[in-house]
Every structure is written in structure tokens, then in C-alpha cells.
Chains A and B, each alone.
Chain A
Amino acid sequence: MKKVLKILGGLLMKDKSKLLSIYMNMNKIRKFEEKALNFFEEDKLRGSVHLYIGEEASAATVCEFLTDKDYITSTHRGHGHCIAKGADLGKAMAELMGKETGYCKGRGGSMHIADFSKGNLGANAIVGAGIPIAVGGALAAKKKGTDQVAVTFFGDGASNQGIFHESLNIAALWKLPVIFICENNGYGISVPQCESTSVEDICVRAKSYDMPGYKVDGNDVLEIDKVVGKAVERARKGQGPTLIELKTYRWLGHWTGDPQVYRTKEEVESWKTKCPIKRLRKYMLDNKIADKKELDEIEVDSQKLVDEAGEFALNSPEPDLKTVMDDVFCEGEII
């Protein structure tokens, strides 16, 4: 692995199975989000739904470097991270609908999906709040002497929270195996980054904490591959954390009802030309890594999986109202 890293600069560039896995995950995420939007518009699910369309390369590529034992924490825009970390699409969609069969038995919803069996310590509805939790996952890994790593996904807005800075300091101070992934989509709801953030590149904040910081095109799987592979390897070797800023863009509004008066249609359309899924497809076709038929099949298969997930969620039961107080505490489990 190490040699491959040095020669290619990225771990995945010519690894067909991994590239196809990323392609599959990006398609699953895209189609899952489209399905969720349809359900929302049809009044089949409620609440705040923050869609990840346009940003799929981040979750899909980063999680390709992780095992089920590695931890992630996620954000209010967390469906993609959950899916890329291996979630069952049916349980995920059922949670968005608040169904008994959902990952959190309908108690969490879109913003609190967690699948601990895959190392997902949860999405989070408070901006930046998942960051120290990942640091803690990494602290546990270090204490237990495993080679697990923790990845925390967060947005550009979170990098202005105090907790971001506290967490980077702690992770660097204790040399913890954390990879901080800032998905910079340029806006905190309606506020452009230039109105909220003192720096143009959030990755420069790594310098303050004496850790490596990188910025890359967050819509390019191969560019993400180059830095994330190194960061994960560095973390597994006990060399400490890394901050990676992925420049990306959300195609849809901040939430499903966002009037989007703060940006132009031209801006949105220009980003759509940088679609991460199309770019990976083109790369694989141009370099003869995969042929059109294979890639088309993946698209069809991912749509099928999402359709099945939607049916599963629609047909799942509502939670039993008698269970409403379950899981506030774990009772009777004193060791």
C-alpha cells in the first residue's frame, strides 16, 4: 500500500474495484437524496431535510479508506456519510420517515442518523458539535492501542465555531488519529463564506495547531484520494491528525424549502458542470478502467436499491407509542 501511495500519489487511482465502489456509493447517495426529496414533496416525510446532492465525492471517497471499525461523525447534511459508511438504505430511509424500522427507531430523523455497527457515531443538528465526539473516538482508539481512525465531517460554517478550534487543538496536542474533513460548500445557509470567515482557505487554520492542512477540489474523487489516503495512513501510524478542506457545492437549497435568493441560477448551473459523478465516470471511461455497460449497470442497480429502500420505508410500521420513553436511559445495565 505504501509503495502504491508513493508511485501514484493516490491509493485508488487505478484500483478498479475501489473506484467502482466509490461510483456505486455516489450513485446510491444521489438517488437516495432524489428519492428523499420526492417523498418530502409528496408529504411522505417531514422535518428538516438537508440534501447532499453535488457533494457526493467527499463521503464516498473518504469512507473508501475506512473500515467498519473506524469512526465517523457527521452533520445535519449527513445522509451521504451514513450511506458511504455502509448503512442499509432501507433503514436509513425508514429513519427519515420516522419509522420503527429506522436506524434510530424514529427518534432521530434525518439529522440524527447513527449506525454504530458501522462506526457511525451520528449525524448532528448542532453545527460543529460532532467534531469533538470524533476526537473522543480517536482518543479511545489510542487508549485501546488499536489502529482505528476517526473522521469528522463538517462544513465551512462549523470552522467558525469555538468547538472546531478546541477540537483541533486537543487532537494535535494528544496526536490523535483524527481526519478533519471540512466540506466547504461556500455558504452557511444564505451567508457566503466571505461574510462569515476570516480566511479564504479554511485549511490554513491547521497551521495554528501544527497539523497538516490541505485543500482540494472536493468534486474530484482522484484529488480527494491523494490527500485522504495520506491522512488516514498518517493517523493509523500514530502521527496525528490532518485537516482537509474539500471545495464543493450543494446543488439544492440548504433545506428543502430554501428560496435560494442569495445565489444565482448561473452559479448553480456552473457547479453542475463539475458533477463529481460524471467526472469519475469520464475518468474511468477515458482511461478504460471500466466500460459504459458496467457503469450503466451500477446506475441501474443503485436506483433499484434506492427504490427498494423507499418501498421498505413506506411499508414499515410507525413506532409503538408506548415505547416513547424507551432509550432515554439504559436501565438495569450496571456492570
Chain B
Amino acid sequence: MSRKSYAQAIKDTIAEEMRRDEDVFVMGEDIKVLGGIFGCTRGLVDEFGEDRVMNTPIAEAGFIGAGLGAAAAGMRPVIELMYMDFTYVAMDQILNQVAKIRYMTGGNISAPLVIRGQQGIGRGNGAQHSQCIESIFMHIPGIKVVLPSTPADAAGLLRTAIRENNPVLFVEHKALYATKGEVPDDPEFSIPFGKANVVKKGSDVTLIANSYYLSKAISVADKMEKEGISVEVIDPRTLVPLDKDTIIESVKKTGRLLVVHEGHKVAGWGAEIASTVMEEAFDYLDAPVARLGAKQCPLPFNLGLENAVVPQEHEMEEAIRKLL
């Protein structure tokens, strides 16, 4: 085990995979010398050279499309987007091309590529640089959606993503890059997709959260524990594929569920989980499923306003008390 940051875990995993497989290469905006604006590829060019650590023009649709073609032709591109908001610039390539090519061609063509980058609040980046994009991509079949919450998860899930023969949207969080944790040193350490992490065992309420909101969920659960309320915290880790079984099993035990996410509540992934639980575990519920998510307005720049849009820990506590 080594103690390292989330950003370091990502960089180390990319480097290990590039050493292992010469078909793996990285490309994106400002990644070569600058190493990306969060340093996730910093220094890789020194070891792997500029043929494998490529700056791209500011042309997201163009270089994601090129990544798709390269993947179809046998490479394993790991494409960095500076902000996940920029997926919206390349929507056709991601949703109409990358996500569909395998199905449309009846399995003729595969697209083993990773599109990774960061999203979310925390740096005052405003409406076009602070969004959570995962729910939109969860809606479209054909692309896996992964959100690591810790340095170890970032390493283990990214290794799986790079080795996966399907396209993966690997959604990091800007507020997590500096967070530190223990990461296994084994260059084969990986975490399978579709296996939720029961982060904290509990018996009264199930609380589902991921990414930046996982640490908030743990903090709320710890606080509630002191009040005698036992909260089970689950991190789905991957939204596609979604580990329904772990969620359903937990709800059958607790009878109560709160789903919280930073992205908009309306049509957010929390709604999908809430519906799934109502379809598959309705008889076990002792209270209506509760959801928390961002208000239905763009992310504002001002810190106070930004916090007013996204769920706060006290709101999570109130929601849990209301369930009981």
C-alpha cells in the first residue's frame, strides 16, 4: 500500500497500463507538457514520448471521433477531457458513434476507449465547468459510466476501464484530486465494474452516494450514529453497469432509502435507483424513497449560491430523520 492522492493514483495507473500494453496511449487538451490542468498526466511524456502522450487541438468531437477510429483499429486510447462539461461539445461522437458502434454493427466493431475527466462543484468554475454529466450518459445504452470516490477506487476502476473492451466514461471529481488514501501497489490491482461498495454497514437507513458526495454521506452517517441511527452507506461505483442486487439487499434490510447526488435531482440517476427499488423491493419499504440532488438551475458562480443549489449535509440529515 502507498498513501497517495486521487490524481496520483490516476496518473500511476495510466503509466502502469502504458508500460503493460503498448497499444494504450493518452490524448487530450494540454496533457503533454502541462500534464492536464489537474496534473493527471504530468510527466508521462518523459517516459512514454510524445507519440503516446499527445496534445490535441481544442476539437473535442474531432479527437473523440479519432479515438473511436483508433480503438476500432486496435488501439486503446485514454482520452482526457479537461472538463466533463466538454462532452456536450462532442455529443454526437460519444452518444451516436462511440456508444452505438458495437450494437449497430452487430458486434462487428468494438470500441475499447476511455474518456476521462473531471466534473463538479468546488472551484467556482460556473455553469459550464461545474456540471455533473453522468445521468445523461447513464440514459444512453452502450457506454459504461464509472465514478471513483477514493484514490484506491480511482486506481482499481481505471485499470478495469483501460482493459475493458467497451467504451467507458470515467468521471472524476475536481474536488477529489487532492484527497489522499491508501492504494495497493500491485500493478494488477483492479476493481470490477458493477460491484457496489458497502462503505459503512448499518441497519436503519440505506444512504446511496458517490464521487464527491461519498465523504459527505460518511460524515452524515457517522454523525447519525452518535444519535443512535444506524446508516448503511453504499457507493455504487459504476452507474453502468449498476449493482442493483447490493442496493436491493440493503433496502430489504433497512426498509428506508435516501439517494443523494450532486447532479440535478430532476431525471438524475437517483430517480432511476428510487424507481428500481420501488419496482423490486416495494413491500420492504417502510417509507417513501427520498432523493436529494441539485436544484433545477444552472450552477452559479458565487460560492454561497453554488452551495444553495447542491445538497448540503444538514439536508441529508433532515431527509434521514424524516424517513424514520
Chain A residues engaging chain B, CB cutoff 8 angstroms: 71, 73, 102-108, 112, 114-116, 121-122, 124, 126, 129, 131-141, 143-144, 150, 162-163, 166-167, 169-170, 173, 326-330, 333-335
Contact = CB atoms under 8 A, between A and B. Distances in A.
A163 B65 contact: yes
B93 to A, nearest CB: 7
A140 B75 contact: yes
Contacts of B104: 104, 107-108, 112, 114, 122
12 contacts: A104-B104, A112-B105, A114-B105, A121-B72, A126-B92, A132-B62, A135-B65, A137-B73, A163-B65, A169-B59, A334-B164, A335-B163
B203 interface: no
A140 B74 contact: yes
Contacts of B66: 132-133, 135-136, 139, 167, 170
Nearest to B141: A328
Interface residues of B, number: 42
A32 to B, nearest CB: 20
B228 interface: no
B70 A139 contact: yes
A327 to B, nearest CB: 4
A330 B75 contact: no
B62 A334 contact: no
Interface string B93-120: 1001100011111111110000000000
B172 to A, nearest CB: 21
Most buried by A among B66, B75, B109: B66
A163 B62 contact: yes
Contacts of A162: 61
B166 interface: yes
Contacts of A131: 65
Contacts of A166: 57, 59, 61-63, 65
Contacts of B163: 334-335
Contacts of A326: 107
B105 A104 contact: yes
A333 B160 CA distance: 11
B283 interface: no
Interface string B155-179: 0000010011110000000000000
B72 A133 contact: yes
A224 B240 CA distance: 47
A107 B106 contact: yes
A126 B56 CA distance: 23
A139 B25 CA distance: 11
B26 to A, nearest CB: 12
Given A126-B96, A328-B141, A132 B105 contact: no
A333 B165 contact: yes
A126 B69 CA distance: 16
Contacts, number: 155
A135 B160 contact: no
A327 B104 CA distance: 8
Contacts of A115: 108
Given A136-B70, A327-B103, A167 B62 contact: yes
B68 interface: yes
A126 B62 contact: no
A108 B105 contact: yes
B105 A107 contact: yes
B19 to A, nearest CB: 15
Given A115-B108, A132-B65, A133-B69, A143 B165 contact: no
Given A116-B105, A122-B101, A328-B102, A134 B62 contact: no
Nearest to B66: A136
Given A135-B62, A328-B141, 13 more contacts: A105-B106, A116-B105, A124-B97, A126-B92, A129-B92, A132-B65, A133-B97, A135-B66, A135-B69, A140-B74, A170-B66, A328-B102, A330-B110
B259 to A, nearest CB: 25
Which one of B63, B71, B142 has the highest number of Cβ atoms from chain A below 10 Å of its Cβ? B63
B102 to A, nearest CB: 6
Nearest to B110: A330
A288 B102 CA distance: 47
B144 interface: yes
B51 interface: yes
B151 interface: no
B268 interface: no
Contacts of B165: 330, 333-335
B295 to A, nearest CB: 33
A106 B105 CA distance: 9
A96 to B, nearest CB: 13
Nearest to A115: B108
Contact of A330 (B51, B62, B65, B166): B166
A105 B69 contact: no
Nearest to B56: A170
B141 A136 contact: no
B270 interface: no
B97 A328 contact: no
A173 B55 CA distance: 11
B301 to A, nearest CB: 28
A131 B160 CA distance: 29
A173 B57 contact: yes
A104 B103 CA distance: 8
Interface in B230-266: none
Contacts of B93: 129, 132, 163
Contacts of B107: 105, 326-327, 330
A129 B62 contact: no
A173 B59 CA distance: 13
Nearest to B64: A132
B69 A329 contact: no
A131 B93 CA distance: 11
B5 to A, nearest CB: 27
B106 A104 contact: yes
Nearest to B52: A143
